Amino acid sequence: MAMEKLTTHAVILAGGRGTRFWPRSRTRTPKQLLNIVGQDTMLEQTVARLLPLIPADRIWSVTNAEQAAAVRKQLPVAARKRVLTEPIGRNTAAAIALAALHVRHAAKGDALMAVVPADHFIAQPDKYRKIVSAALERAREAGRMIVLGIPPTRPDTGFGYVERMGDALGSGDFPAFAVRRFTEKPALDLAKQYVASGDYQWNAGMFFWRVSTLLDNLKRFLPKTHEALESLAETIGKKTYERRLRAIYPKLENISVDYAILENATRQERAPQVYVIPADVGWSDIGSWAAVYELLAKHSGDNVMAGHGLALDATGNFLYSPTKFVAAIGIRNLIVVETPDALLIVPRDRAQDVAKIVKSLEERKLAKLL
């Protein structure tokens, strides 16, 4: 039987705060709206990767009120009317489900959905698009959910892992494997075992499914959230939509789509429903300034300067000061980031701790620096 015609939509999750990229990343201009690597912003790069596959008027972005105007400004004109604003952050299950309702409304029925983060780097966009096409093709099957898995390059304890099993689904260049289980950030010894086994991929938070598949699973595993959102769906395009959204959204469960749906579906099915496609595409979630250094340094020990400067007897530093000349002498493995109102100095191996500074600024109510 011929497959029904389904339009394809992309949903970009663009509501993060990027606290590890302070002082450049702020509430109104977080990481995804900055040019962290390259000339274009992370959001602009994400859209550019998708556009050859998915037209701009089918690219949706989910963000928050502080960032909505800036997000719109960076999108192609046709995608600006597809920006969805959450009144409060409720994690990815709610954000993706909200988008699914709008996609269903726009498509007047079922559709295919690609869900991607706004702030990841991918070195091989052409190969990435081929894998996305393969993932969407596999996701046509009702009930089937596809995850993109990144072949791990090191035993990282900061990522979730996806364990694959069994034979590949179908043939072709980009096979999909049934998922045995998802494992959250493992201890180092376990991460080493995972990488050595070859059966594990990093979970990059990129998902492919039908709108109906997602909503059916939402109904099954998060029935209250499903019910609340379906009551909102009736108001899409009407004057009462905003009021209803503000009323229901704070009550939705605050949980990721991985925990709420993918892990539950993997545990409870006899026949596999969740599949992973390994995607070796030069991916980085660019989780910290140290990750930016690693991407930009051509060789180990290089100094990376964004702007003018001179380094004497200095190695392994990332020095960001677009307006001032930076002179670095005798320093090793530091990150220095200057903005008009703040200066960050941190050893590269402690770059994750920048988020703690942001937390302290919040506690001290130093809103000007947030």
Domains and CATH numbers, the chain: 8-284 (3.90.550.10), 289-369 (no CATH)
CB atoms within 10 A of CB 310: 12
**pTM, 2 dp:** 0.94
Which pLDDT value is given to residue 158? 85
Q: Which long-range contacts (CB under 8 A, 24 or more apart) does 34-40 make?
A: 36/119, 36/121, 36/286, 36/292, 37/121, 37/286, 37/292, 37/295, 37/296
Backbone phi, then psi, for 82, in 5-degree steps?
-105, 15
Which pLDDT value is given to residue 270? 67
Query: How would you write the pLDDT of the chain (370 residues) with one tens digit per residue?
Result: 345 789 999 999 998 888 999 999 998 889 999 999 889 999 999 999 999 999 999 999 999 999 999 999 999 999 999 999 999 999 999 999 999 999 999 999 999 999 999 999 999 999 999 999 999 999 999 999 999 999 999 988 888 999 998 778 777 789 999 999 998 888 889 999 999 999 999 999 999 999 999 999 999 999 999 999 999 999 999 999 999 999 999 999 999 999 999 999 988 766 679 999 999 999 998 989 999 999 999 999 999 998 899 999 999 999 999 999 999 999 999 999 999 999 999 999 999 999 999 999 999 999 899 9
What are residue 168's DSSP bridge partners?
Answer: 177
Which pLDDT value is given to residue 244? 97
Closest CA to 292 of 332, 331, 335: 335
Contacts of 59 (CB under 8 A, 6+ apart): 9, 10, 12, 47, 50, 51, 75, 76, 79, 82
